[in-house]
Structure 1
Amino acid sequence: MSTSGSPLASLCREALEELGGLTDRFVARVWQLDPYRDDVVDRSEVARDAEASFELLLRSIGGLRIPDRLSGISEDIGRRRARSGVPLEVILQAIRIDFQLLWDLLVAKGEAAGDVLLRSAPLVWQALEAHTLTLQRGYLDEAALMAHEQHRVREDLVRRLVVSTSPGRSLQRQVESALDAVGGRPWLVLTAHLGQLDALGVRAAQLRERGLAAHAQELFHQAFLIVEQQGGRRDAVALVPGIVGGYSWCAELADLADAVSTARKVLRALPPTATGPLGPEDVWAALVADEIGSVGDAIVTTVLDDFQRMPDVDQRLLHETFLAYFTTGSSSRAGELLHVHRNTTINRLQKVHKITGMNPFVPSDAALLHVAFECAASGGAEPIRPLGPAAPDRGQPTV
């Protein structure tokens, strides 16, 4: 360890007398780096910080007294550079320039001191490493604080946009700016149960890494995610695979409130068999049943009055068969799901026709039957959901 009277201490005192020239050379070199060339940090601030850093390093290497004004300077520089938006890798480049210039100066000053500098190389390295690590810690701590503050700003803006009865263009532009959105593109809006908030946050971060504007937060005691569509076909499953939730789309953020409302309704209507995101097109009958209120009771009475007089086990069997056919559009595929022969499936569907007067093979009748069953379920009857995949096969119906 160096002492204030050692040859190394004397060498560092001599170097301290040349702080001005050392600082000027550093600033000239640093200003060749892109962020600094664009004046993201004031040149005079960089010069002051460089002079303080060189003095701190020289005093640390030489074992000289470090004045209070230099206490915490490394962390402070790191925090201010984070606030200025200078990338960490550029800061580390600047520190390498620090070391090169400082070492060159010490070598020039130490030629007459023989191998003093060579033997003291570990001290030089320790001082530089301590400065680098402290600066980096300050930078990362400030960056994390900034990210937290930015997320809170985003949350506040998005919440205001959703709850506003008449959001103006100014608020919409604020949200687009906060989310780094392109603008003029459709948005996926997904809601899930609050326990999935962390998963949505991770997914939002992954989507941002892909260049998509994405944001997750808690809203109405539910987990909530919005993603700007980049182009091509709207594919919610590709954007949020494996996330069980209800989604909707909006053409622009001005329509976000309506899309959130729809996504929340879809979430309430999700079948227990859901293994991924579902949209209004997947649970439309349940949504209709939820919206039509007392009209639904009338539909149930008209369509299912005789059906509901059957024993529960028979109701369940026929309802399950109808849903399998309705979901697949094929009596053969429905039979495979139910593990029965195709003819058995057809016979059961014909029985549904006979009891309800609605023909499952006629699209309009099948749709009305589906809505009637959903209305009955929303009125307290136990819902029966499709077998197999949660999302229906939208191939051409085949008998």
Structure 2
Amino acid sequence: MGRRRPRTGHDWKLLAESCAALLERLPELVDEHLRQLTEYSPVYGQVLPYDEQWREAETAMRIGIETLSAPRDSPRRDLEYAEDAGRRRAQQGIPLELLVHAYRSAGYLVWDALMEGVAGREPERLAMLMRSATMVWSAVDAQAATATEAYRATEMELRRRTDEQLQALLDALLEGQQTPGLAARAAAGLDLPERGPYAVVVLRAERHDARDACPRPMLGAGLRFIWRMRADCEVGVVALGPGQGLDGVARLLDGRCQGPGGISPVVAGLAELGRARRLAELALRTCPPDATDVVRLDQRMPTALVVSQPELAARLVSDVFGELLELEPGDRAVLLETLDVWLSCEGSAGRAAGRLYCHRNTVFNRLRRLEQLTSRSLARPRDLIEMTLALDAYRLSGVGR
């Protein structure tokens, strides 16, 4: 197979003449181009007024034709225009496939017009065009590729800006801002109902990689979660389905999220997410440092009352455990652990002894010593409440340690 003859200066002169003749037919080519595009998809005619479409198509095709016969070291104005066109089409929301199709369609139209201009005449000019085919289609491919790259970069930037705007709306709701129309804008952007049952989950993320705090996306049991990362925690907004309550939230989170964490009570709409977040954070504060559970505030109310009043909590620990705090740390820890286990075993000394690996009489002896040191009786309901709350305050606040 013989080598392809390189294009000569005479070839470039003939190509320039063909392109100049084609530019005289440009208006009819633009009309035909727009007709073909609209026939291919009605979307083309729905984005811009016809006059504006015509001007843009005329500019693109004229620059493309001029580029074919321009000196080899000339700036690629066609690629500059393709980059601008890619950005505009992304901003206008035209699908990328239609943008690429427009470039291909224009390329076929220009090529066919070039061939028609010499068909049956001037064999030398026809041979020149055939030798130039690779260059012509390389130019079209480069234009389409440049437009595509600009389109995708713009689309990514627009998506990033949209995500940032939605995150800002969600953050404003979680901070409890009451700006007029805020909840409605967030509902539209996040595709959530403005009114309806919601809950908020707060997970402590300081003890592990925050990215592993909870898997995303989390859907199930009629629930939808939207997560936001913060410096020391991860916040989840839960949209509850019809008839759903906190039991479904707790079941879904159990075993799928690394705790500790807190779940707020149900609130009636997006405008109340700020209050729900504060209550979820309060539920989280009822979890001791070594906890791994995600707990509901409505099931930790006594403890929540303690941690929400740190000054009173400190006073409660001092009043109830005053003499106990003066013991050696080891002795104090044994007595408080016994009380904690006995309470979790619902006052059963036998079950507590099994968990503590000691005799039930040992449990009784430790509890009697606690009663002596605190001047309180575990048999009296009011005293039992005080000791239970004081134990929570001691474990959660570190008061007296």
> 1:73 corresponds to which letter in structure 2?
Y
5+ residue gaps, structure 2, are 1-5, 372-376
Residues in 1 aligned to 2:342 and 2:136: alpha-carbon distance in whole angstroms? 78
CA 1:164 to 1:236, structure 2 compared with 1: closer, same or farther past 3 Å? same
Residue among 59, 64, 67 paired with 1:57: 64
Matched, 1:46 2:53: yes
CA contact (8 A) 1:179 1:214 kept: no
Residue among 131, 145, 170 paired with 2:143: 131
Alignment of 1:188-207 (within 5 A): 188-191=199-202, 199=211, 206=217
Deviation at 1:110, TM superposition (A): 5.5
Q: Which position in structure 2 is the counterpart of 1:183?
A: 194
Residues in 2 aligned to 1:225 and 1:216: alpha-carbon distance in whole angstroms? 5
Alignment of 1:1-399 (within 5 A): 5-32=12-39, 36=43, 39-63=46-70, 72-109=80-117, 111-112=119-120, 113-162=125-174, 166-168=178-180, 170-191=181-202, 199=211, 206=217, 214=226, 216=228, 225-229=235-239, 231=241, 232=244, 234-235=248-249, 238=252, 241-242=257-258, 246-248=262-264, 250-274=267-291, 279-280=296-297, 286-297=303-314, 299-300=316-317, 303-305=320-322, 307-308=324-325, 310-320=327-337, 323=340, 341=357, 344=358, 350-351=364-365, 353-354=367-368, 355-356=370-371, 357-358=377-378, 369-381=387-399
Residue by residue, what CA displacement relative to the aligned partner does 1:169-227 show, whole Å, maximum 9, x if unpaired?
x22112222333243343453456798998499977x579xx96846365xx6666453
Structure 1 stretch displaced more, 276-285 or 264-273: 276-285
Residues in 2 aligned to 1:213 and 1:110: alpha-carbon distance in whole angstroms? 65
Percent pairwise identity: 22
Residues in 1 aligned to 2:333 and 2:67: alpha-carbon distance in whole angstroms? 82
Deviation at 1:6, TM superposition (A): 4.1
CA 1:301 to 1:381, structure 2 compared with 1: closer, same or farther past 3 Å? closer
> 1:290 corresponds to which letter in structure 2?
V
CA 1:162 to 1:242, structure 2 compared with 1: closer, same or farther past 3 Å? closer
Deviation at 1:131, TM superposition (A): 1.5
CA 1:97 to 1:258, structure 2 compared with 1: closer, same or farther past 3 Å? same
- SS where residue 195 of structure 2 aligns? coil
CA contact (8 A) 2:67 2:78 kept: no
- SS where residue 237 of structure 2 aligns? strand
Q: CA RMSD in A?
A: 4.8
TM-score, normalised with respect to structure 1: 0.69
CA 1:130 to 1:289, structure 2 compared with 1: closer, same or farther past 3 Å? same
CA contact (8 A) 2:187 2:194 kept: yes
CA contact (8 A) 2:313 2:393 kept: yes
Residues in 1 aligned to 2:269 and 2:238: alpha-carbon distance in whole angstroms? 9
CA 1:202 to 1:292, structure 2 compared with 1: closer, same or farther past 3 Å? closer
Structure 1 stretch displaced more, 50-59 or 272-281: 272-281
> 2:391 corresponds to which letter in structure 1?
F
Deviation at 1:294, TM superposition (A): 4.8
CA 1:175 to 1:20, structure 2 compared with 1: closer, same or farther past 3 Å? same
Deviation at 1:375, TM superposition (A): 1.2
